[in-house]
Amino acid sequence: MSNSSPLRRTAKRFLNDAQLEQLVYRRRQIETPMLRLRTRRAADLDALACLHGTDKSSYQHGYTCLYKTHFASRRPTVRRLLEIGVGGITSQRGYETTEGGQSLRMWRDYFPNAEIVGIDIHAKAVSGPHLHFEQGDQSDPVFLRALIDKYRPFDIVIDDGSHIGSHITASFVTLWSAVTPGGMYVIEDLSLAYDPRYGGPPGTPGTAPELIKAAVDDTLLRENDPFRPSIAAMHIYGKIAFFEKAK
């Protein structure tokens, strides 16, 4: 049941968030044996997302289709991935608990040669082979620089953190330098950008869209000025943006 499917749209009219979450959970439990079989046969990112319970799957946001488009060819070469935001009891609630790591486990299983690093402002009990967790604020440049010193470089950075515009900008400004040439930087859930709780209406300084608009200028101007920020390409979708670093 994808986020945009007729069935989900109908369900949202009659069920609250907790009931929808329970419905997704029950469906995942029923389909788990088939999901495990799909992940054994091939590198099926959406099956991994559904299996681990991240909201990136086709059950909810549907980001896995886009991630597959941009990441499938990179699977063997990705050595380090950083994700901002570790989640909670589920990918949508319970953030203040020590639970989380749904998408981190998905990435670990999808990228066979990668170390996966997750950061969150809350302490998380996330551990295991090729999984690393650091507690800190994504808007704190001191914390981020220490993270860079410890783990750099990153082939992929994914911002699924607070979704607050100023935090998104702070993370990008500090972490972009640590992305490998040819690497990717992704910002999720941009549909929240104009919500006053996350940044403000269109035209508000410091929002995620303002960051993207400035990056468009830098991308276009870079062609004739090698000293501009090294964004080779941008891919903007309804709720998610991909920045590709120049080689």
Q: What angle do CA 45, 76, 134 make, to 5 degrees?
A: 75
pLDDT of residue 129: 92
Report how far residue 12's alpha carbon sits from residue 61's, in angstroms, rounded to the nearest whole number: 14
- Span 122-133, pLDDT tens digits: 999 998 899 999
Residue 105 lies in a domain: yes
Residue 13 lies in a domain: no
| HSE-CB of 131 using CA atoms within 13 angstroms | 18
Residues in the chain: 247
- The answer to whether residue 235 is catalytic is no
3-state SS class at 178: helix
Report how far residue 47's alpha carbon sits from residue 2's, in angstroms, rounded to the nearest whole number: 13
Strand partners, 179: 154
Q: Which domain holds residue 186?
A: 65-245
| HSE-CB of 17 using CA atoms within 13 angstroms | 4
Out of 61, 130, 163, 167, the active site residue is 163
Residue 23 lies in a domain: no
Residue 208 lies in a domain: yes
Residue 199 lies in a domain: yes
- Span 1-55, pLDDT tens digits: 444 455 555 556 666 766 667 667 677 676 666 666 666 666 899 999 988 989 9
CATH number for the domain including 211? 3.40.50.150
Total count of domains within the chain: 1
Residue 195 lies in a domain: yes
